[in-house]
Chain A
Amino acid sequence: MLQQIDRVEGLQRVNDFVVKFANVNGSGSASANALFAKAVLRMGVTATPRNIFPSNIQGLPTWYEVRISEAGHLAARGGGPDLMVAMNPQTWKQDVTSIEPGGYLFYDNTKPIPADKFRPDIVVIGVPLTEMTNKAYSDSRQRQLFKNIVGLGALSALLDMDPAVIEQLLGEQFKGRDKLIAANVQALHMGRDWVKQNLDCPIGLTLRHADTVGDRIFIDGNSAAALGAIYGGATVCAWYPITPSSSLAEAFSRYCSRMRVDKATGRNNFAIVQAEDELASIGMVIGAAWNGARAFTATSGPGISLMQEFVGLAYFAEIPAVIFDVQRAGPSTGMPTRTQQTDITICAYASHGDTKHVLLLPEDPYECFEFGALAFDLADCLQTPIFVMLDLEIGMNDRLTKPFDWDDRRRMDRGKVMTAEELEAGKLFGRYLDLDGDGIAYRTLPGTHPTKGAFFTRGTSKDRMARYSEEGADYQENMERLLRKHNTARSLVPAAVERKSDVPTRLGVIYYGSTSPAIAEADLLLAEQGIHLDLLRVRGFPFGDEVEAFIAAHDHVFVVEQNRDGQLRSLLVNELEISPKKLGKVVHFDGTPISARFITGAIAACTEKAVS
C-alpha cells in the first residue's frame, strides 16, 4: 500500500485538465475510454478526446487523450497530461516521463513496480485492478473487459465524477440487455468502492457539473462527412481502404443500410464498391458521375497521388466528382496515423496540364456534414472534381460540434443538364459551348435523346462542339473557358469567416480546417500578452474577394497551417499575387495536432522580432 499515494502536493484543478490513457491495442479499452469522455460531457463539461495510435492492429501501444475544459477549448492543449492512466507496461517509461510536474499517475499495482520506475514530482495512485478482476471473474475475456470498467470506476471516484451519469450511459449503450448493464454497473462500483475505502479521494483534479455543452453533438468528422454524402444525394461510393479515410466509406455504408434501403423491395438505393485501388475508385466515380449519379470516393494523400491522371481527365472532360481527402502525411509507410494538412497544393493543382481545383476546408464535424452535402451541388454545378479536405484530427476523433440541421425545402442542384424535352424543342447544344458566360457549359446524360445531344467525352483534343480537334485555337479557347469557370467557383465556395479583434490591429491571421480551435484559444492567450489579431478562416479555394481584402487591410498576416512548406500560404502568394514578405509562415508539422501553446509561442516570437 506504500505506493498508493505519494506525499507530493498534486495539481489542483477543477474541470480543466488533461487525462491520457495508455493502452494496449485490442484490449477493449476503447469503449471504456469513450465512456469516460462521454461521462464528462454528460456532466456538462467540454471534453475533447484524441486517439493517438501507431499503425498497428493488436497488442501494441495506443493512447487516448481527453482534454477537459470548462472554458470550452477543443484544441489539443499541448504538453503532457495531468493524469496518466498507465495501463501499458511497454510504454511505461515514456508515459511516466510525459506527465506534467505535480501531475498524477494511475496504474495497476497488482504486481509491484520498483521505486526507481516512478518520479518523485508526481502523485502516484496504485489500484490493484488485475487482482480485483481476477478474484471477481473466472473467464479471461471477462477479466480483460471488466478491468477497463473497474478502472473507470476507480477513476470516477478519484475525480469525483457523478456515477449516475456513467450508469445512465451504460444503460443506453447496452439498452435491452439488462444483464450486461447490471454486470457493468457492478464492475464500475467495484472500482469506486475500492478507491473510496483505500485511498484519499478525490484527488486534486476534479469534475463538477457545469453547463458548457449545450445542445451540441459528439461525432467524428468522417462519420459526419459520410452523413453529408447521404444528404447530398450520393448514390455511388467507390473507395479503397486507406487510413485515416476508411471509416468515412464505412460510415457511409452504415448510414446507407439504415436510411437508403427501400422498405418495400429491400433493394438498395445506393451502390458501394471497394475497388482494387485508388485509380479504379476514382475511375468508377467519374464513370458514375458522367452518367448522372452523384458519386464520391474517400481517400488520403497517397490515394490522391494515384488519382492524379483521372482527376485531370475529370477536370478537362468536366465531370462532377467528389473526393474526400482525409489528410495524413505520406507516402506509404508515411505517418499514416498522424494528422497533417499536407495535400493542399497537390489537390489544388492536381494532375498534369494547367489545372486548378475547388477545395472545401471544413473545420469540424458540423462543417464536414455541411460541406459534404454541398460538395455534390458544387460538383454538379461546376462539372468538376471537388475536394473536401479533412484531416485525421477532424476525421477520426469524436468532437463536440453544433447539431446538424437540414431544410426540407432544399433541393439538389444538378447544374446545367439538358433534358430530352429541351433537346427536342431545339435548344442549342454544344458540350463545351459557354452559353451563359460563366464558363459552365451544358451537358447531356447518356441515353437522353434518340438523335440529339450525344457527344464524345475525351481530354483536351476537342472543339466546343466536342468534336475531335488538335487545333491550337480550340485548345486555347477551351482552357480559357475553364479558367472562367474556375473564377465562377470563387463565389460558390463557402466564403471565408472573419473575426475582428476588439482592439484595432494591423495584424491578421489566416488559418483553416482543424487548426481552428487552437487559433481561438491562442487568440485569447495572445490578447493577454497584448498581441491583438484579426482572424480569417478560409473555407474554400479558389479564394473569394474577402480573402484578398483581408490581406490588403493588414500590415502583416500570419498563415497558420499544419504542413512544412506553408502550402496555403503558397496558394495565396500564387493566386492572389501577394508579396510573400507580407505573409508570415507559422507551421506545425510533427504529426500531432496543432496546439494553442504552439501558435501563441510562434506568433509572440515573430511579433517580438518584428517590434525589435
Chain B
Amino acid sequence: MTFLAKPKLHHPELHKNSLGYTRRDYEGAISTLCAGCGHDSISAAIVRACFELELPPHRIAKLSGIGCSSKTPTYFLGASHGFNSVHGRMPSVLTGANLANRDLIYLGVSGDGDSASIGIGQFAHAMRRGVNMVYIVENNGVYGLTKGQFSATSDKGAKSKRGVVNSDEAIDLVGMALQLGATFVARSFSGDKAQLVPLIEAALKHEGAAFIDCISPCVAFNNHEGSTKSFDYVREHNSAVNYLDVITERPEITVDYAPGSVEMVTQHDGSTLRLRKLHTDYDMHDRVSAMTYMQQRQAAGEIVTGLLYVDPNPRDLHEHLGTSDTPLNALHEDTLIPGAAALEKINMGLR
C-alpha cells in the first residue's frame, strides 16, 4: 500500500469559512479503507464538524492507536499533526501531548479492539483523569486488519462471517465512560450524519473528556445476517434519545430537522447545544439515571444513540493538576531552571 495524495484542485466557488478555509482544507489523503467502510463516513463527519466550527486545522492534534480505525487520521485534517501510536495506547500518548500543550485540540481516534481489548486500561484511565479531548471509538465489533476476529464489543450471540457465534459478554464502552467520569458521553452511528456531525462538534467544544462511541459497520467482515453491528441491524435497532445542533457565536448551523421538545445547554466555552429530545423521559444531566436507562434499553435490544450525558462545566486534568495557563512546552529557561544560586543553597542544606 502506498500513500495516495488527494489532488489539491477544487472548485473556485467552494464555500469558505471565516478563516478562509474550504471544506477541502480539512481533508486528508485518500482513504485506503474498503469501499463503503463506516469509518470513512466518520472521517467525513470530522472534516465537516471542524470546517463548520471554523477550527484552524493546525491547532488540532489527531492521535490514534492501531487498527482500521486508527488508520483514518491520515484521511482527514491533512494540515494537522498526527500520531499513529501503538496498539491500545493512544490514550496515554494523547494525555502526554495534552499535558505539554493545553492550547491545542486533541482528537483521539480508536477502535473497539484498540480501546475495549488491548487498550481498555488506558481508555479507562484517560476517562477518569478527565483529559480534555474528543475520544471517538469507531466501533464495528470486529478486527478488520487481521480479517474478521471478534472484538470485545461484539454482542453475545452475534454471528461472525464464518458462522462462529460469540459466547463472551460484550464490553459497553459507553457504560464504562459514564461510570468512569467522562463529562461528555455520546453514541452515534456512522450512517446517521445528521446526528453524528453535531455530536462531534459538541464534543470538540466540550472542555473535558468527551467520548463518542460510534457504531461503524465493517463492510468486509461484519455486515452480514446475524451480525449486531451491520448497517441493517443498527438502523433497525437504533433508538436515538435526542438530536442536537451546536450553536456557536457564528451563524446557526442548519441540519435536517425532526420535531421534538427542545433543551438548550450552554457549554463552558460559550457554545450552546440545542437538543431536540426524542425521548422526553431521558435526562442527560444525571449520570446515574443515564446508566440505568442505557442498561434497560440495551436489555430490550435497542442501540441507544444521541448525547447521553453532558456536564456543561467540566474540570479537566490541567485543572486537577493546577498547571500554568502557559502551555508547558512554551516555558523557557528563566521559568524552568532555578539557577546557580538556588543550587548553591541546596548544596548548603546537604552538608
Q: Which of A227, A269, A292 contacts B335 (CB 8 A)?
A: A269
Nearest Cβ on chain B to A221's Cβ, whole angstroms: 13
A445: chain B residues at CB < 8 Å are 81, 101, 329
Chain B contact-residue range equals 35 or more
A289: chain B residues at CB < 8 Å are 96, 100
Q: Which of B78, B121, B321, B331 contacts A454 (CB 8 A)?
A: B78
Nearest Cβ on chain A to B93's Cβ, whole angstroms: 4
Does A204 make an interface contact (CB < 8 A)? no
Does A355 make an interface contact (CB < 8 A)? no
A276: chain B residues at CB < 8 Å are 121-122, 124-125
B96 touches A284 (CB 8 A): yes
Q: Which of B5, B61, B92, B324 contacts A262 (CB 8 A)?
A: B324
Q: Which of A13-21, A138-146, A402-410 contacts B (4 or more CB under 8 A)?
A: A402-410
B93 touches A287 (CB 8 A): yes
B96 touches A266 (CB 8 A): no
CA distance A470 to B84 in the complex (A): 15
Q: A283-B85, A287-B100 are in contact. Are A292 and B329 (CB under 8 A)?
A: yes
Q: A235-B336, A287-B97 are in contact. Are A446 and B61 (CB under 8 A)?
A: yes
Does A248 make an interface contact (CB < 8 A)? no
Contact with B along A269-305 (1 / 0, CB 8 A): 1111101110111111111111111010000000000
B80 touches A290 (CB 8 A): no
Does A433 make an interface contact (CB < 8 A)? no
A287: chain B residues at CB < 8 Å are 63, 83, 85, 92-100
Contact with A along B307-340 (1 / 0, CB 8 A): 0000000000110011111001101010111111
Nearest Cβ on chain B to A315's Cβ, whole angstroms: 12
Q: Which of A277, A412, A457, A463 contacts B81 (CB 8 A)?
A: A457
Q: Which of B5, B94, B101, B322 contacts A268 (CB 8 A)?
A: B322
Does B82 make an interface contact (CB < 8 A)? yes
Total contacts A-B at CB 8 Å: 235
A288 touches B92 (CB 8 A): no
Does A451 make an interface contact (CB < 8 A)? yes
CA distance A218 to B346 in the complex (A): 11
B329: chain A residues at CB < 8 Å are 235, 288, 291-293, 445
A463: chain B residues at CB < 8 Å are 3
Most buried by A among B96, B317, B347: B96
Which residue from chain A places its CB closest to the CB of B56 in the assembled complex?
A450
Which A203-261 residues sit within 8 Å CB-CB of chain B? 215-219, 227, 230-231, 233, 235-236, 238, 259-260
Does B104 make an interface contact (CB < 8 A)? yes
A292 touches B338 (CB 8 A): no
Does A582 make an interface contact (CB < 8 A)? no
B100 touches A291 (CB 8 A): yes
Chain A contact-residue range equals 35 or more
Nearest Cβ on chain A to B284's Cβ, whole angstroms: 28
Nearest Cβ on chain A to B219's Cβ, whole angstroms: 22
A447 touches B81 (CB 8 A): yes
CA distance A217 to B351 in the complex (A): 5
Nearest Cβ on chain A to B101's Cβ, whole angstroms: 5
B122 touches A280 (CB 8 A): yes
B100: chain A residues at CB < 8 Å are 235-236, 287-293, 295
Which B278-323 residues sit within 8 Å CB-CB of chain A? 317-318, 321-323
Contact with A along B103-138 (1 / 0, CB 8 A): 110000000000000000110110001000000000
Contact with A along B145-187 (1 / 0, CB 8 A): 0000000000000000000000000000000000000000000
Which residue from chain B places its CB closest to the CB of A234 in the assembled complex?
B336
A270: chain B residues at CB < 8 Å are 323, 328
CA distance A283 to B108 in the complex (A): 14
CA distance A262 to B328 in the complex (A): 12
Which residue from chain A places its CB closest to the CB of B32 in the assembled complex?
A468
A286 touches B96 (CB 8 A): yes
Does B139 make an interface contact (CB < 8 A)? no
Does B141 make an interface contact (CB < 8 A)? no
Q: A267-B324, A275-B125, A309-B86 are in contact. Are A468 and B1 (CB under 8 A)?
A: yes
Does B264 make an interface contact (CB < 8 A)? no
Nearest Cβ on chain B to A119's Cβ, whole angstroms: 39
B340 touches A227 (CB 8 A): no
Nearest Cβ on chain B to A182's Cβ, whole angstroms: 23
CA distance A451 to B22 in the complex (A): 13
A267 touches B322 (CB 8 A): yes
B347: chain A residues at CB < 8 Å are 217, 403-404
B346: chain A residues at CB < 8 Å are 227, 404
A447 touches B350 (CB 8 A): no
Q: A268-B323, A467-B3 are in contact. Are A286 and B336 (CB under 8 A)?
A: no
A268 touches B324 (CB 8 A): yes
Q: A451-B58, A454-B58, A468-B1 are in contact. Are A269 and B84 (CB under 8 A)?
A: no
A446: chain B residues at CB < 8 Å are 58, 61, 80-81, 97, 101, 104
Does A397 make an interface contact (CB < 8 A)? no
Nearest Cβ on chain A to B351's Cβ, whole angstroms: 6
Given contacts A233-B333, A290-B100, 7 further A-B contacts (CB under 8 A): A227-B346, A270-B323, A284-B96, A291-B61, A446-B81, A447-B81, A450-B56
8 contacts between A and B (CB under 8 A): A236-B328, A279-B92, A287-B100, A291-B61, A412-B337, A447-B59, A450-B57, A456-B74
The 6 A-B residue pairs with the shortest CB-CB distance, nearest first, are A287-B96, A283-B92, A293-B100, A284-B96, A446-B81, A292-B329
